[in-house]
């Protein structure tokens, strides 16, 4: 049973795509209200319940909340009953939060009863369900201190069609948050509307994934999926035949 805390774009998209795989999902917002949003009504595998029920009954928990909301839940004691289970932290802190002790590290400190894995924070909600760009599956880095928890998280990512890459311990979380900030800046600069990601090129993908991860078949490439950025226009370039163009000044 997978639990999702957060019924916004990310949480709802994640729940829908897990339900399509036939997985049972418990989902809740930040309040104790267990009503079902209209966008999830057609998925019988998704059960909308109060947040304490999600925390108590989930085998794996995903925090798909704003950073401040996740911290508040942890400090309020809602997440105290970890029992050594895995929690996936998808949050990104505001830019004002810094000092080398950002979201992943802080939440790991606040959740000692859980095995915290930082992942999916570099993935826009629009990529869930279509994890392929330019014919290649999108890479998702993950960080955590517990190898078995990273294997569990990597299996979740593979099921969603992503390529998981183990980047080390939870001390790498600030680097993942900086990467997410960079991707959001690129998205804003080029008006990509959340359709962006990166694909890591290595000789053997299994060498960078957590051990014991079974690689699923890759999802088919959506028709017309060619999302490359157009090269920047260069003005005033003149070249003679057989010679390379001269750069503009």
pLDDT digits (tens, 9 = 90+) for 34-61: 566 667 878 889 999 999 999 999 999 9
pLDDT digits (tens, 9 = 90+) for 48-99: 999 999 999 999 999 999 999 999 999 999 999 999 999 999 999 887 454 4
Tell me the backbone φ, ψ of residue 7, rounded to 5 degrees.
-115, 25
Record the tokens describing residue 120, joined without a space. Answer: 């999916």
Q: Is the pLDDT of residue 217 over 90?
A: no
243 contacts: CB under 8 Å, gap ≥ 6: none
Q: Is the pLDDT of residue 215 over 60?
A: no
Q: CA-CA distance, 196 to 183, in Å (whole number)?
A: 8
Note the pLDDT of residue 36: 62
Within a 10 A sphere around the Cβ of 115, how many other Cβ atoms?
24
Helices 67-75/103-110 angle, 10° precision: 20
Q: Is the pLDDT of residue 205 over 60?
A: yes
Residue 141 near residue 179, CB atoms below 8 Å: yes
Q: Is the pLDDT of residue 208 over 90?
A: no
What is the assigned CATH class of domain 2-207?
A: alpha beta
Quick one: what percent of the chain has pLDDT higher than 70?
Answer: 75
Note the pLDDT of residue 129: 87
**Mean pLDDT for the chain?**
81
Q: Is the pLDDT of residue 219 over 50?
A: no
Note the pLDDT of residue 212: 60
pLDDT digits (tens, 9 = 90+) for 118-164: 999 999 998 998 899 988 999 999 999 999 999 999 999 999 999 99
Note the pLDDT of residue 246: 45
Q: Where are the domains of the chain?
A: 2-207
Neighbouring-strand partners of residue 25: 2, 46
Note the pLDDT of residue 26: 96
| pTM of the model as a whole | 0.80
pLDDT tier at 28, thresholds 50, 70, 90: very high
pLDDT tier at 33, thresholds 50, 70, 90: low
3-class DSSP state for residue 4?
Answer: strand
| Cα dihedral across residues 143, 148, 153, 154: positive or negative | positive
Task: Tell me what the mean pLDDT of segment 176-196 comes to.
Answer: 92
122 contacts: CB under 8 Å, gap ≥ 6: 140, 141, 176, 179, 180, 183, 197
Q: Is the pLDDT of residue 225 over 60?
A: no
Task: Tell me what the mean pLDDT of segment 104-112 comes to.
Answer: 88
């Amino acid at each position: 049973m997978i639990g999702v805390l957060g019924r916004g774009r990310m949480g709802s998209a994640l729940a829908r795509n897990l339900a399509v795989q036939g997985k049972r999902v418990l989902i809740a917002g930040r309040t104790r209200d267990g009503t079902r949003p209209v966008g999830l009504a057609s998925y019988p595998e998704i059960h909308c319940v109060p947040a304490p029920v999600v925390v108590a009954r989930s085998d794996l928990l995903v925090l798909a909340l704003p950073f401040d909301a996740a911290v508040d839940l942890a400090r309020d004691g809602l997440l105290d009953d970890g029992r050594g289970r895995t929690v996936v932290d998808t949050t990104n802190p505001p830019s004002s939060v810094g000092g080398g002790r950002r979201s992943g590290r802080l939440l790991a400190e606040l959740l000692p009863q859980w095995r915290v894995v930082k992942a999916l924070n570099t993935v826009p909600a629009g990529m869930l369900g279509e994890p392929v760009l330019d014919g290649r599956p999108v890479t998702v880095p993950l960080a955590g201190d517990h190898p078995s928890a990273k294997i569990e998280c990597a299996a979740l990512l593979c099921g969603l069609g992503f390529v998981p890459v183990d980047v080390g311990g939870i001390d790498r979380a600030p680097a993942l948050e900086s990467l997410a900030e960079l991707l959001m800046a690129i998205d804003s600069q080029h008006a990509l509307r959340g359709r962006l990601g990166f694909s890591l090129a290595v000789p053997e993908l299994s060498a960078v994934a957590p051990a014991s991860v079974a690689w699923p078949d890759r999802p088919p490439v959506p028709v017309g999926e060619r999302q490359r950025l157009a090269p920047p226009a260069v003005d005033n370039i003149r070249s003679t035949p057989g010679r390379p163009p001269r750069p503009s000044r």
